[in-house]
Amino acid sequence: MTLTKTEFKEWLLCGKCLWLKKKRPEEYVAGEFSLFLKKLIKDGYEVEAQVQKLYPNGIFVSGDKETLLSKTKELLGGDKPIFQATFETVQGLFAKVDMLNFNKETSKWDLYEIKASSEIKTDLKHNHIKDVVFQTIVVEDAGVEVGDSYIIYINKKYRRDGEVDLKELFVIENVTEIVSEQKSGVRDEIKIALETLEKDDILLEGCDCLYKSHGQRCDSFFKFNPHVPEYSVHHIVAGNKLRLLLADGIINIKDIPEGFDLTDIQNDKVSLQVTGRPQINKEAIESTLSELVFPIYFLDYETYGSPVPLLDGYKTNQQLVFQVSVHKLDEDGTLEHFEYLANKLEGATRGLLDMLKTNIGPVGSVVVWYESFEKGRNEELAELHGEDRGFLEDLNSRVFDLMKVFKKDYLHPEFQGSASIKKVLPVLLPELSYKSLDIQDGTMALSEWEKMIKEDMSQDDIKMTRENLLKYCALDTLAMVEIYKKLKEL
């Protein structure tokens, strides 16, 4: 039975899920391979390509499994860095190492794991240390002595100025000591994983993910736990409180007993499910909306980021604002729409700011959904375009976050505890839907824009992509306009 590094990580999350995936793939319920996950993978390849430039004499191993193994064995006879060095053990462990670098002082191969993140993570889903420990065990069990272990990750303080300075962009951290400390424990986990995978049958009723928060579930959670509703107690509490409820057989939110230790916000969420009726504070909403100043500008940004800074002045993963939609509502009900979509990286934000300065006047509230995002982008734009700092700071001083209304004064059981516009809109205005659009969320938007500016697209495809992007962003601000109107009717 083969166990790869990726599979080991899956086993750490949920052993039953990995067993089902490998032993009964026809019953395995795969999680959505989202555009976000695809982007993370692409970012990882991009970062690895940059690291390889730091070791220009390194050799990249490619090919099918047998070629990878034989080529690696051949290269281990030399002393050049090896990228994607591949190993397999007699127990069935398999790993491709990002880089092995021969240390001439110790005559051992140092192991390097390359990450596109700006820190070393040790959470349940992204345990970088265990990644390195697993690989170290595989390499050593395959007969190669490993020296020190390192993790290469992005320096979050680096800001690009001219050509990318790779030595400044990356942090190379020695993790040998902690890898050594965890090796015995990881060996035990590998042993249990292999023993589990050797079994021809296991009990498929229930899995350990039942005791985790909803964001930490395995892909096949509902296969193992069909009795758990889509919106359950897992969305209200976690940890010991979740275990207490489950021990009493409580899965449905409406079954949480009165007096159970909850915060005020959690109690509100429970009450909504118990009564099945929305909680609307009309007076508070009317008072809040009365503070808005006409004309009201409804604003939404679309952004794109990369672990390798895109342009001068940018940090790693800093968001470049490539698109904006603005709906302007006058007191007499007149509604105008303004929009901007960059055609390329260079000059993208300059054109966007010129559009905003032309169409947003010095008076009027600026309505957004989740203000920290738009405000944060404006602060970054002010650093990049110091000449427009005053304008951007003024915009931020006029921002009103419409989402806050749905956090405290307008609560609905069908929002399922969320104040996201993607939850609010279908309930308040089901006729306004993203489902009919070719681009339906921000991740799709950044993915399509990236294709438009980086890939060799025909003019017809570019035109269609632009139209789809503009429709999507326009709906974001139009949705806010219509939600505002709905609130005014209360």
Q: How confident is the model at residue 130 (pLDDT cuts 50, 70, 90)?
A: very high
pLDDT mean over 370-384: 98
* φ and ψ of 300, to 5 deg: -145, 135
- pTM value is 0.91
* φ and ψ of 150, to 5 deg: -135, 150
| pLDDT exceeds cutoff 60 at 34 | no
Q: How confident is the model at residue 33 (pLDDT cuts 50, 70, 90)?
A: low
* Per-residue exposure over 134-151, b if at least 16 CB sit within 10 Å of its own CB, e if not: bbbbbbebbebebbbbbb
| pLDDT exceeds cutoff 60 at 5 | yes
pLDDT mean over 129-144: 98
Q: What is the mean pLDDT of the chain?
A: 95
Over the stretch 210-262, which tens digit does the pLDDT of each residue have? 999 888 899 899 999 999 999 999 999 999 999 999 999 999 999 999 999 99
Q: How confident is the model at residue 461 (pLDDT cuts 50, 70, 90)?
A: very high
| pLDDT exceeds cutoff 70 at 32 | no
**Residue 125 identity:** K
* Half-sphere exposure in the Cβ direction for 232 (13 Å, CA): 22
Q: How confident is the model at residue 434 (pLDDT cuts 50, 70, 90)?
A: confident
Q: Which of 435, 165, 407, 201 is nearest to 308 (CA)?
A: 165
Domains of the chain: 3-198 (3.90.320), 208-271 (no CATH), 286-488 (3.30.420)
> Which positions ≥6 away from 101 have C-beta within 8 Å?
55, 58, 81, 82, 109, 110, 112
